Amino acid sequence: MNRISWDQYFMAQSQLLALRSTCTRLAVGATIVRDKRIIAGGYNGSIAGGEHCIDEGCYVIDNHCVRTIHAEMNAILQCAKFGVPTSDAEIYVTHFPCLQCCKAIIQAGIKKVYYAEDYKNHPYGIELFLKAGVEFMKVDREEMTLDFNQTEKRAFIDDMLSLLEKKEDKNDEIQKLREEADKLFS
């Protein structure tokens, strides 16, 4: 069994957090890490107890939803709320941070930003990162899913292909299907 890299592991955590997002425009997750340990996580959503975009719609001003707090900011604020230092930490974000989040990341003392997708990468945010010595890099995402029924699905596919082999005289085509199934389940 191959283990995923640390970058993929922490990015997967951010992708999982993004599933909690309440914004209908873009789901974002962020994970703050120090010494290979998760110290905080956040997703974009409304203030605690506030109305959510999924319920009330986005509150858009100047083409920006002002109802939500960004994932990076939520993660940084979680550290502040519980007294967890962010200096020299790293942050994993599903999308490149907006300009305001770039500034917050710098002020929080976070030294590395890993992101999975480019998203309106602001030139001034990039300039600020460079001036502040904040490294930023794109992490290749591998498609990952948690499938608790994989064994049963594989058995089902194998049974179907076996039945086809008995009934059909197109074993070349069935062999191709079996090879495709092998690729999907490997």
Asked if residues 4 and 41 have their Cβ atoms less than 8 Å apart, the reply is: no
Q: Is 72 a catalytic residue?
A: yes
Q: Which of 72, 90, 117, 179 is catalytic?
A: 72
d(CA 165, CA 186) in angstroms, rounded, equals 22
Q: Long-range contacts: 168-171, Cβ < 8 Å, 24+?
A: none
Residues for the chain: how many in total?
A: 186
SS3 38: strand
Q: Which residues contact 68 (CB under 8 A, 6 or more apart)?
A: 22, 23, 44, 45, 46, 53, 58
Among residues 62, 45, 66, 70, the alpha carbon closest in space to that of 125 is found at 70
> In b/e form, how buried is each residue of 142-158, taking b as 16+ CB within 10 angstroms?
eeeeeeeeeeeeeeebe
Instruction: Tell me which residues are annotated as active site.
Output: 72
